């Protein structure tokens, strides 16, 4: 009896420790993952430390995780993707059916709409993501357009609505998203069965998830169960008022009337310094600074780096992998002139001429944070 009471107490203590670790955003390990920054452990909200962004592909076990609801456990053999609404014939597709269609591999960057929310001042409620709710992977599966054609879908309908196997719990409603038919028919929009050439891990939507290249992660529905063709978008919380952005900039901290919000479709230009972390000590020697840059549906045109708090800027060299929808690596050779503290900044420009701002546009839900990235380093002879 006393043993079980003690065990219970110990377990309770462990849970409290885990909960406070989660609350503090500390790095702890979740099965199938390297140590990641845990914002929530049930359901999992896991952030990738920026030091992992040194390779063009983010390995599956280092990839960030975001879910609003308890993760469903899906059995592949019985799993079906139902097609209904404005279709010629309703279908129930197994993953074997999806595999019979031509398979495409698309490299695409997945970024949470709320990545960087933790930087907004005044602070806004929600997961306090800092820099790592992003990753780049190769996704493989049939085109959504081929799946829609299989069901004789009305391709002139306005929207495709996607639901996943997770269901609403307590105050959180079911996660359902709609996208315009134009994006649904884009050849890079696929129903992925594989992530980096492996079956999609459970945390990332096994056995099938939607890939919407260039658009924010919210559209990338996991554990897909339903595709509905309609002339109206879904009206649930995650379409309205969720995941909307003010049409006009507002003073930080001001509430915004729902009528003044519009649907978010895509991510703005942004870059990140990955090879050094904030307050790191580095030796007084030539340094190769490295990072990533991405631009939603645009391409990266230029990345500039400043090692003197933004007084002077120089071009970084862009990496050789240069594909639409996938991030671009960059590199910058820097020789610190002497010992001391340096603020290093990175700033990207996209193919439409958009440049990262000094201050991101504050909004009540903390979406689309894309201010110039900044890291402070201490240069020391002995470091």
Residues 192 to 251 in contact with Mo ion, rule: CB under 5 A: 217
* CA 90/CA 84 separation, integer angstroms: 5
Asked whether position 37 contacts ligand MTE by CB under 6 A, the answer is no
**Binding pattern to ligand MTE, positions 317-346, x when CB under 6 A?**
------------------------------
Structure tokens at 133: 């709710």
**From the list Mo ion, ligand MTE, none, which binds 307 (C-beta under 5 to 8 Å, kind-based)?**
none
Binding window for ligand MTE (CB under 6 A); candidates: 92-100, 138-146, 213-221, 306-314: 213-221
User: Pattern 172-211, binding to ligand MTE, x per CB under 6 A?
Assistant: ---x----------------------------x-------
List the 36-41 sheet strands across, edge first: 27-28, 36-41, 44-47, 65-66
| Dist. CA 142–CA 149, nearest whole Å | 12
Q: Does 151 bind Mo ion (CB under 5 A)?
A: no
Nearer to ligand MTE, 206 or 334 (CB): 206
Q: Least Å distance between CB 155 and ligand MTE?
A: 24
142-to-102, 208, 263, 369 alpha-carbon distances in Å: 6, 10, 26, 32
- Report the Cα–Cα distance between both ends of the chain, in Å, rounded: 55
Torsion of CA 275, 279, 285, 286, to 10 degrees: 30
- Could you say whether residue 117 binds Mo ion (CB under 5 A)? no
Choose between 69 and 318: whose C-beta lies nearer to Mo ion.
Answer: 69
Distance (Å, whole) CA 175 – CA 76: 20
β-pairing verdict for 198-199 and 194-195? antiparallel
Q: Residue 304: helix, strand or coil by DSSP? A: strand
DSSP 95: H
Pairwise CA distance, residues 28 & 35, whole Å: 5
* Residue 58 found at the interface with ligand MTE (CB under 6 A): no
Under the binding rule (CB under 6 A), the answer on residue 245 touching ligand MTE is: no
164 lines the binding site for Mo ion (CB under 5 A): no
3-state secondary structure of 45: strand
Residue 164's nearest CA partner among 217, 94, 226, 93 is 226
CB count within 10 Å of CB 206 equals 23
Q: Which two tokens stand for residue 232?
A: 């109206």
CB of 111 to Mo ion, least distance (A): 8
Q: What dihedral angle (degrees, nearest 10) is formed by the CA atoms of 109, 69, 49, 113?
A: 40
Nearer to ligand MTE, 64 or 369 (CB): 64
Looking at the Cβ atoms of 66 and 143, the one nearer to Mo ion is 66
- Stretch 148-177: interaction string toward ligand MTE, x if CB under 6 A: ----------------x-x--------x--
Interaction partner, residue 227 (Mo ion, ligand MTE, none; CB < 5-8 Å by kind)? none
Q: Which residue lies nearer to Mo ion by CB, 126 or 168?
A: 126
Nearer to ligand MTE, 172 or 302 (CB): 172
Q: Which is nearer to ligand MTE, 168 or 336 (CB)?
A: 168
Structure tokens at 287: 């340094």
Query: Which residues form the interface with ligand MTE (CB under 6 A)?
Result: 63-69, 110, 112, 164, 166, 175, 204, 217-218, 220-223
Query: Which residues form the interface with Mo ion (CB under 5 A)?
Result: 66, 112-113, 217
């Amino acid at each position: 009896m006393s043993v079980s009471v003690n065990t219970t107490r110990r377990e309770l203590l462990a849970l409290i420790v885990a909960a406070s670790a989660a609350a503090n955003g500390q790095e702890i390990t979740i099965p199938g993952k390297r140590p990641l920054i845990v914002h929530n452990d049930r359901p999992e909200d896991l952030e990738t430390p920026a030091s992992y962004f040194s390779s063009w592909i983010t390995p599956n076990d280092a990839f960030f995780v975001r879910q609003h609801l308890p993760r469903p456990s899906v059995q592949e053999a019985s799993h079906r993707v139902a097609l209904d609404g404005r279709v010629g014939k309703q279908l129930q597709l197994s993953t074997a059916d999806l595999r019979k269609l031509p398979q495409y591999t698309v490299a695409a960057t997945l970024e949470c709409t709320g990545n960087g929310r933790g930087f907004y001042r005044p602070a806004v409620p929600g997961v306090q993501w800092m820099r790592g709710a992003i990753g780049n992977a190769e996704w493989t599966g049939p085109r959504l357009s081929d799946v829609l054609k299989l069901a004789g879908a009305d391709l002139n309908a306005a929207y495709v609505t996607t639901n996943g196997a997770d269901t609403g719990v307590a105050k959180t409603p079911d996660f359902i998203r709609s996208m315009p038919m134009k994006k649904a028919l884009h050849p890079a929009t696929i129903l992925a069965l594989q992530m980096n050439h492996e079956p999609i891990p459970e945390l990332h939507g096994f056995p099938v998830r939607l890939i919407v290249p260039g658009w924010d992660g919210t559209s990338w529905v996991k554990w897909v169960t339903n595709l509905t063709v309609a002339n109206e978008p879904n009206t649930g919380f995650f379409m309205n008022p969720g995941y909307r952005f003010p049409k006009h900039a507002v003073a930080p901290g001001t509430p915004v009337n729902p009528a003044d919000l519009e649907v978010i479709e895509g991510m703005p230009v942004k870059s990140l310094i990955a090879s050094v972390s904030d307050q790191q000590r580095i030796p007084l020697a030539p340094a190769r600074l490295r990072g990533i840059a991405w631009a939603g549906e645009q391409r990266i045109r230029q990345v500039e780096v400043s090692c003197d708090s933004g007084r002077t800027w120089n071009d970084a060299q862009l990496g050789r992998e240069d594909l639409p929808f996938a991030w671009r690596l960059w590199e910058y050779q820097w020789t610190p002139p002497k010992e001391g503290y340096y603020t290093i900044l990175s700033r990207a420009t996209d193919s439409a001429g958009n440049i990262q701002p000094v201050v991101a546009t504050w909004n009540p839900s903390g979406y689309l944070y894309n201010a110039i990235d900044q890291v402070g380093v201490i240069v020391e002879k002995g470091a």
